[in-house]
Structure 1
Amino acid sequence: MDKFLDGLMSALASLFEGNMGWAILLLALTVRLALLPLTLHLSRKMLVNQRKIRDLQPQVDAIRERLKHDPQAMFAAVSKLYRQNGAHVIDRSSILGAFVQLPVFGLLYKTVSNASAAGGSFLWMRNLASFDAVLTAVVLVLTGIAAYYLPSGSNAPSTVMVAVQIAITAIFLWKMSAGLGLYWVASSGVSIVQNVVLRREQKRVPRSSVSDR
């Protein structure tokens, strides 16, 4: 797989007279878009599960209050309530799907890192192997936008979550090569599209109906 990505990177670079900047952007976009149907599917499942858990919360609170002196019975009752309504505290399918994608992203990251080491200029960047503050700022803005549109069970964007996402990204990007920064640009751009689609879908979905048993 890594040899395939290296070959594809070289082929893309040859289309732009050896410019690795465009090759990195195109390869990162191609891989992220290819995985977009899977990530959308997993995200939809996760949101449905979050919605069910949110709507069941009043019943869960009532069970906890009623059985607060019997933790074992309380756990059994809450578990039964979740099973009856198809809710899961741990969404195994989403976790498995995320792990399936990790090797792909790891190989893509390695390929981009190797291509960046060759250096070369791109747009305003003099050397793709060096850190670029302007590109980092662009990535942080895109990360903030993606985090803002990230859907959740509450249907409301969290300012704290946006700030945390930006801070974590800034730590990872500190002194990172511009080539890898371009990878983050492509990835964040696709994440924005994904989150906007999910948030629009979320607004059209009525509150899920749960059992009152």
Structure 2
Amino acid sequence: MIYPFSLLITFFANVFQGNYGLSIILMTFIIRLAILPLMMNQTKKQMAMKEKMAVLQPELTALKEKYKNDSSTDAKKQEQTEMMQLYQKHQFNPLNIGCLPMLLQWPVTLAFYYAIRRTPEIAAHDFLWFSLGHTDMILPLIAAAVYYMQFRVSQSLSTQYQQEQKNQMALIGLMSPIMMGVLSFGMPAALPLYWAVGGIFITVQTVVLNKLYTKPKAA
């Protein structure tokens, strides 16, 4: 994907009269739109899980109540066994949330990174306040903030997880933007620009798809 990405970045920059910043933004939207069908499928699965969890939750609560005063190993094993039986009864798989879009982003991001590095024209251009081919001190913070906001929006719309799972996800949601920001400080500003624009796209996409696939409550 590196060579086609580099050609497309140059092509769109020429369309925008040499503006490589606008070219990268347009490329970001094209990449996100290409992944959109997978994201729509993932959202459908998440909505189906949410509906099943609404039915399953009272039984899970009763199960926890049943074993709350018994901390023995046998009781824990029995509780896990009965929980799996409940999952099978309701055909609920907590791991079936669709990881393909998330996994697909990494090779795309790497390809985009090397396309930027192998397109020397980018390094000679500025966009807004920063040079696309050099590191920037502000843009990584913006990219990290955007992805943290995206995580918070996604978590606020998700109700299928138990509290302990949400706490674990909150830690991941905090660490990922921090790691992204730290890595961005050592990369050409074109890449955190791609991440920031992509994060905004994902945030809007999350809200829209959740509204699209959420069934209206019965009166």
Please report the TM-score for the alignment, with normalisation by the length of structure 1.
0.74
Cα distance change of structure 1 residues 135 and 26 upon mapping to structure 2, 3 Å threshold: same
Partner of 1:133: helix, strand, or coil? coil
Structure 1 unaligned regions, length at least 5: 208-213
- The two structures, once aligned, show a CA RMSD in angstroms of 3.4
Aligned AA (1:13): A
CA contact (8 A) 1:147 1:165 kept: no
Partner of 1:77: helix, strand, or coil? helix
Cα distance change of structure 1 residues 101 and 206 upon mapping to structure 2, 3 Å threshold: farther
Q: Which moved more, 1:14-23 or 1:117-126?
A: 117-126
2:41 corresponds to 1:27: no
- 1:82 Cα deviation from its structure 2 partner: 1.0
- Where does residue 82 of structure 1 map in the other structure? 87
Cα distance change of structure 1 residues 96 and 22 upon mapping to structure 2, 3 Å threshold: closer
Cα distance change of structure 1 residues 186 and 115 upon mapping to structure 2, 3 Å threshold: farther
2:4 corresponds to 1:4: yes
Cα distance change of structure 1 residues 135 and 71 upon mapping to structure 2, 3 Å threshold: closer
CA distance in 2, matches of 1:56, 1:117: 56
CA distance in 1, matches of 2:111, 2:59: 45
2:114 corresponds to 1:103: no
CA distance in 1, matches of 2:61, 2:160: 18
CA contact (8 A) 1:130 1:177 kept: yes
Cα distance change of structure 1 residues 164 and 100 upon mapping to structure 2, 3 Å threshold: closer
CA contact (8 A) 2:150 2:203 kept: yes
Cα distance change of structure 1 residues 165 and 196 upon mapping to structure 2, 3 Å threshold: farther
CA contact (8 A) 1:115 1:179 kept: no
Please report the TM-score for the alignment, with normalisation by the length of structure 2.
0.72
Cα distance change of structure 1 residues 143 and 126 upon mapping to structure 2, 3 Å threshold: closer
Within a 5 Å distance, the mapping from 1:33-72 to structure 2 comes to: 33-50=33-50, 52-53=52-53, 55-64=55-64, 66=66, 69-72=74-77
- Where does residue 197 of structure 2 map in the other structure? 186
Q: Deviations over 1:22-65 (max 9, x none)?
A: 22221122111221232132133134325534652442343355
- 1:94 Cα deviation from its structure 2 partner: 0.6
Structure 2 unaligned regions, length at least 5: none
2:148 corresponds to 1:149: no
CA distance in 2, matches of 1:103, 1:58: 41
